[in-house]
Amino acid sequence: MEKATFAAGCFWGVEEAFRTLRGVIKTTVGYMGGTTDNPSYKQVCTGETGHAEVVEVEFDPEVISYHALLDRFWAKHNPTTLNRQGVDFGTQYRSEIFYYTDEQRQQAEESKSAIDRSGQFDNPVVTAITLAGPFWRAEEYHQQYIFKQKPGFTCS
């Protein structure tokens, strides 16, 4: 098994986008990239901890590639809006790829360059690519939030 961590706005919808992929073993929402140990959702929402809302993806690379996860990441959000996704704004909603290995870093950088050159977006891609740091699991009610809701509930 391998691990990948992505920030692409509100973690509820991002988790659902990855959770349903064949080869993804487990998804966990949480916080990464900040300075406060074990932050709460309330703290992260202030923007003062520096954390992003993230989804940690555990996957089987024999079934799904890291590149395929990157494709889903780019498709799930607008990587050209700094600290904003839809109606959500603040540093906790930034676009960021947290890598665990040099191979992941290289693939993320190549993927970002390809998306930027593709002409798919009118503005430049602002997604940061950062070495993964401590992952702090979000409160239980955030885990698989969309899956737990009534049928038809969505989150962008």
45 part of a folded domain = yes
Q: What is the mean pLDDT of the chain?
A: 94
Beta strands in 74-142 (DSSP E): 84-85, 88-89, 95-99, 128-131, 136-137
Span 134-151, average pLDDT: 88
Question: What residue type is 126 in one-letter code?
Answer: V
Domain hosting 83: range is 2-148
**pLDDT tens digit sequence for 26-49:** 999 999 999 999 999 999 999 999
Residue range 103-117: mean pLDDT, rounded: 97
Count of domains observed in the chain: 1
Q: Residue 43 domain-assigned?
A: yes
- Out of 8, 10, 24, 64, pick the active-site residue: 10
Q: Is 45 a catalytic residue?
A: no
Residue 133 CB coordination number (10 Å): 13
Domain presence at residue 66: yes
Say if 128 falls within a structural domain.
yes
pLDDT-based confidence at residue 153 (cuts at 50, 70, 90):
low
In a domain, 153, yes or no: no
Q: For residue range 55-67, what is the model confidence (pLDDT) as tens digits? A: 999 999 999 999 9
E strand residue ranges, the chain: 2-8, 24-32, 52-59, 84-85, 88-89, 95-99, 128-131, 136-137
Under the banding of pLDDT at 50, 70 and 90, the label for residue 139 is: very high
Tell whether pTM > 0.85: yes
- Output 141 or 7, whichever has higher pLDDT: 7
Whether the per-residue pLDDT at 154 is higher than 80: the answer is no
pLDDT at 151 exceeding the cut of 80: no
Domain contains 154: no
Residue 80 lies in a domain: yes
Does the residue 155 lie in any domain? Answer: no
